[in-house]
Amino acid sequence: MNADHVFVCGNPALDFAATLRARRTLRFETLVSPERLDAWYLRAGMVDTLSPSRESDVARAIAVREAVYGLVTARRLEEPYDDEALATVNGAARKPPVTPQLTAAGRRTDATPEEALSTVARHAVEVLSGPDVPLLKECGNPECTRVYIDRSRGMRRQWCGMESCGNRLKAAAYRARRKRAQEPAGQ
């Protein structure tokens, strides 16, 4: 499985929650090092530069990620929130967030790992308390556990993203139909 970070969920907190992939089967972890955590913050466009993360920052980020995933799942299934998950996300959100600065060259955002994580937590608070709650869906790929915001017309989107899951499932379904059509009758 590719370890590159993917941003298809429609909200940074949802994309962050998806950094642990295939939760029901393989449990593929993408935040395996401080460098991978920093790469996520940079690729997400949250920061321009980041003071280097440490292992303790990775542990905090994973705790917040798991709390966000638990809260998103509870909200999507209309179940009560876990108190510990609430405390984890709210605690991170209370910290100072990333603060963009205006420079002669334009906008610049330098941050610490704690500020970047606070910004992720604040995105979680916003998505879980805002108008997009009814649009939260889990990917239709049984191997994928990404939750995304379905803003498609008619809310008919089935996959977190066509490139990541949709094309793969459509191709597999096509191959299965074709194989069935080629089988001799009576088998």
> What's the rounded Cα separation, in Å, for the pair 8 and 58?
22
Percentage of residues in the chain with pLDDT exceeding 70? 87
SS (H, E, C) 3-69: CCCCCCCCCHHHHHHCCEECCCCCCEECCCCHHHHHHHHHHCCCCCEECCCCHHHHHHHHHHHHHHH
Residue 21's region, left for phi above 0, alpha for psi from -120 to 50, else beta, is beta
For residue 177, what pLDDT band results from cuts at 50, 70 and 90? low
Note the pTM of the prediction, 2 decimals: 0.85
List pLDDT tens digits, range 147-170.
999 999 888 888 887 676 856 555
Domain boundaries, the chain: 12-182
CATH of domain 12-182: 1.10.3300.10
For residue 2, what pLDDT band results from cuts at 50, 70 and 90? very low
List pLDDT tens digits, range 83-117.
999 999 999 999 999 999 999 999 999 999 999 99
The chain-wide mean pLDDT, for the chain, equals: 90
Helices and strands (H, E) in the chain, number of each type? 6, 8
